[in-house]
Amino acid sequence: MHRFANPARFTRLADRVLPFAAAGAVVALGVGFYLALFEAPADYQQGESVRIMYVHVPSAWMAMFIYVAIAVASAVALIWRHPLADLAAKASSPVGAGFAFLTLVTGSLWGRPMWGTWWEWDGRLTSMLILFFLYLGHMALLNAFEDSQRGYRAAAILALVGVVNIPIIKFSVDWWSTLHQPASVMRLDGPTIHPSMLWPLLIVAVGFKLYYLTIALLRIKSELIAARLRALDLATVKAAEVQGQTARG
Amino acid sequence: MRGLALIVARDLRLALRQSADAWLAVLFFVLTAALFPFGVGPEPNLLARIAPGIIWVVALLAVLLSLERLFLADFEDGSLEQLLLSPLPLELAVLGKVLAHWLTTGVPLIAAAPLLAILFNMDLSGLGVLLLAMLLGTPTLSLVGAVGAALTLGARRGGVLIPLLVLPLYVPALIFGVGATDAALLGLTARPHLLLLGAVLLVMLVITPLAGAAALRQAVE
């Protein structure tokens, strides 16, 4: 695994994957949104506003998926001290926060015509809000220390403690019977949603995953470049110091 | 076990010598709760209905107020490093510190809760469940808070960071704590809520000393 701790090797691999991930994301999101907006039928009860679902549900999946990914990366970073895992966790949390925010906003927009309220303190909405705050805490803790290594370590521990909340979010719709509808895709007895609606949903979900992969790889790459720049700066300063000393001495 | 008792005894002695700190949390608890009748109006029925929620939220904030001190003094005067060097497992030391923190903030809050219940005109039939729920819930607040306090040692703006890290993780304790009291007030059984509170406490009792010790190690490193 430490083979990929080498920045040059990682960058080469990332450069090879990136075009496919980016192109895949564009194609999947294009096809997915086309199917969702034009081909999928309007819901017999919810009408056209059901199309919000094709953004709302995949971003909710992504918000939870990315938090689990951060927790896994954090565990790897803490156990094997793998430097790329730290960077992966750092690269992921703003993306996850973005998806959590998108879930909350689209949920609110959907809730207004469906439930007649922008916001309802039901289990799933509340736990998604908490997930959003967990992301914010993770980002704040990462940037709170002079020494970036300390920030990585602290944020990794926080991510592992916070992952307890993920099952609560996942099952909240089954445990609390409030306004939110129960799970209809990820069920043991198979999805209860018609294929004409399921397919666009899954394609958009794949598109979001590829988008996340693209962004994460780009952000890790830029972190590596930033680290190299810092090292160069430090070397220049040190060289100038040495020169000054020899000139004086 | 002896090391754990020593740490608890030391922290309790320190807290007694500077008893102003412990009083501050209780004072904050009562004072902030007293603001609610001004904020929502003095209508007795309304106050009685929201009393459990207010008591829980205010207790949460009072605990939050006392968290920054939890490791900071030891971190600054170097006793934290001594703790790390001692043969006592650091996880046990964290547990000792948490226990002392709970005894000096959680227990006084529980003792002050009946006062607030009376002030808010709460139906006293629910008082027993409220106290039981707080007895199960406040140790969770101390345990989770200790992780937040340990993580922010030496951070810029550490005091501002702690609420951001800790409050989201407090929500389960709050939900089940208020749920238990509300159920009792409605004449339903509070058992499931209390069991869930106990379950949260047990999970946190396992996770947080590990996380807290890991956080302290990297803070001192």
Our CA dihedral for A100, A104, A110, A112, rounded to 10 degrees, sits at 180
pLDDT at A215: 92
Nearest CA distance, B121 vs chain A (angstrom): 26
- What is the mean predicted confidence (pLDDT) over B154-172? 85
Give the model's confidence band at B220: pLDDT under 50 very low, under 70 low, under 90 confident, else very high: confident
Mapped onto helix, strand or coil, the DSSP state of residue A43 is strand
Mutate to test the interface with B, among A128, A147, A150, A157 (most CBs of B within 10 A): A157
Which residues on chain B are in Cβ contact (under 8 Å) with A126? 171
Contacts with A168 from chain B: Cβ below 8 Å: 172
The answer to which of A81-90, A212-221, A237-246, B13-22 has the lowest mean pLDDT is B13-22
What is the Rg, in whole angstroms, of the alpha carbon atoms belonging to chain B? 18
Residue B87 has pLDDT above 90, yes or no: no
Is the pLDDT reported for residue A181 higher than 70?
A: no
The reply to whether residue A141 touches residue B218, judged by beta carbons under 8 angstroms, is no
CA A123 vs CA A119, A182, B190, B198: distances in Å: 12, 11, 19, 20
CB pair distance less than 8 Å for A160 and B172: no
Distances (CA, A) of B189 to A19, B183, B195: 59, 6, 11
Question: Which residues does chain A have within 8 Å of residue B171's beta carbon, measured at their own beta carbons?
Answer: 126, 130
Return the percentage of chain B with pLDDT > 90, whole number: 32
CB A197 within 8 A of CB A41: yes
Chain B: closest CA distance from residue A29 (Å): 33
Mutate to test the interface with B, among A135, A161, A172, A175 (most CBs of B within 10 A): A161
pLDDT at residue A189 in the model: 58
Does the pLDDT at position A187 exceed 70?
no
Give me the mean pLDDT over the A214-242 stretch. 88
Please measure the distance between the N-terminal and C-terminal CA atoms of chain A and give it in whole angstroms. 48
- Among B144, B168, B172, the residue with its CB nearest the CB of A134 is B168
Count the residues in chain A. Answer: 249
- Tell me, yes or no, if B206 comes closer than 8 A to chain A by beta carbon: no
Residue B193's pLDDT band (cuts 50, 70, 90) = confident
**Where would I find the H helices in chain B?**
2-17, 19-40, 44-67, 69-77, 79-85, 90-101, 107-119, 127-151, 158-185, 191-220
pLDDT at site B42? 81
Closest C-alpha to B130, from B73, B51, B66, B38:
B51
pLDDT value for A72: 93
Q: How close does chain B come to A175, measured CA to CA in Å?
A: 13
* Rg of chain A over all Cα atoms, to the nearest angstrom: 22
Question: CB contacts < 8 Å between A and B, how many?
Answer: 66
Q: How far apart are CA B176 and CA B89, in angstroms?
A: 32
Report chain A's mean pLDDT, rounded to a whole number: 82
pLDDT of residue A249: 62
Measured in angstroms, the CA of B19 and the nearest CA of chain A are apart by 31
**CB spacing of B211 vs A160 below 8 angstroms:** yes
CB contact under 8 A, B156 and A146: yes
